[in-house]
Amino acid sequence: MYNKINRFALYTILITAFLIQLLFLDHIKIAGVKPDLLILLVVFFAIFFGPGAGAESGFVSGLLKDTYSLDIFWVNIILLSLTGLAVGGLSPKLFKESKLTQGLLVFASSALYMVIHYFVSLSVLKIEYVTLQDYLYYLILPSSLYTAILSAFIFPVLIDRYRLKENAEYL
């Protein structure tokens, strides 16, 4: 059984994260790479609140990204929604409180999202600005790693905020 979250709280967190990403994360780039707070939150909501909340948070995150960016409008909406749905579907099979599981899910989700985004953009725009190898080496892997490391600090705060720790008697 999944936890419940108020939609207002969900949307507030996503909009706040989007504004932080938009306004402040350029100042904490490491080697030209910044973390993706929205994919991190989509994975969080999917793990702890299920595929419905994961897909909904993915849709809202994708809408925020697509509205602001000069990218193809529907790509982020669909990819982030599917990411939330897939991770939410996997979550009953996972030990949710494991930081390793959380970090690996964030890393894998972020990397897969960016690889698929690359191929969709390539097929729609028919222009290759950078090779997949360079994109993978210089952006996908560092950004996914940075996002996964950041999840180790953000997930515990959100877990405590929403009292999502499992009771020992049920383990």
Model confidence pLDDT, tens digit, residues 37-47 = 999 999 999 99
The predicted model gives 3-9 an average pLDDT of 87
Q: What is the pLDDT of residue 2?
A: 64
Q: State the pTM of this model.
A: 0.91
On the CB side of 131, CA atoms within 13 Å amount to 3
Q: How many CB atoms lie within 10 A of CB 160?
A: 10
Q: What is the pLDDT of residue 169?
A: 42
Find residue 30's DSSP bridge partners.
33
Q: What is the C-alpha to C-alpha distance for residues 75 and 85, in angstroms, rounded to an integer? A: 15
pLDDT in tens, 155-165: 999 999 888 76
| Residue in 57, 65, 61 with CA at minimum distance from that of residue 7 | 57
**3-class SS at 30?**
strand
Domains defined for the chain, CATH in brackets:
7-163 (1.10.1760)
- Sorting pLDDT into bands at 50, 70 and 90, what band is 166? low
